[in-house]
Amino acid sequence: MKVQIEDKEFSCFLEYEKIKKRTRLLGIQINVDYEDKVPVFIGVLNGSFLFMADLMKEVNIPAEVSFIKVSSYHGQETTSGTVKSVIGLDIDLKGRDVIIVEDIIDTGITLSYLVDVLRKHEPASVAICSLLLKPQSLQREIPEITYVGFEISNEFVVGYGLDYRGLGRNLKDIYRYLPVPSET
């Protein structure tokens, strides 16, 4: 299946059923790892909202939820390299176990910034749970990456919370960009 978003065509890459199964496994692992704790899940808006909702349905331990909004994409396909915090935290993290929930880890610039900001709040621990990871794109080492749904190549993807120019977040599946072959 293909979808058109503005000037780009995308083909189905990860169907929702596969995402749902992997999310269930991540939830089970988090339940085991935090069995005697009450972690704070911090969703990174806007992209993580669908993944976070589905993940929280699989988490059976006591937990709190909060959100933060940071951005380095500004509507583009690739990161601008500049991080801008838009919405801050409204919960005390001192001595708490924190799990950052991300839709995708690309260069790691935004996530590295976020981990630094959260560390200033003196949490007991910080872990990262991301639906997607692009290992070839990482520009920063981020040891807090603990839970990863899928490792993908350096492709542009939309759907299931991920967008292109603000569009496509509502797609149930994840789609990858199909570049038009250049004429020679």
Beta-strand relationship, 97-105 and 125-133: parallel
> At CA 152, angle to CA 29 and CA 74, rounded to 5?
100
Q: How far apart are CA 39 and CA 125, in angstroms?
A: 9
SS3 category, 57? helix
Q: Which residues are CB-neighbours of 117 under 8 A, at least 6 positions away?
A: 85
Q: How far apart are CA 87 and CA 28, in angstroms?
A: 30
Please pick, among 54, 97, 103, 106, the residue that the annotation labels catalytic: 106
**Known catalytic residue at 106:** yes
Sign of CA dihedral 153, 158, 163, 169: negative
The residues annotated with a catalytic role in the active site are 106
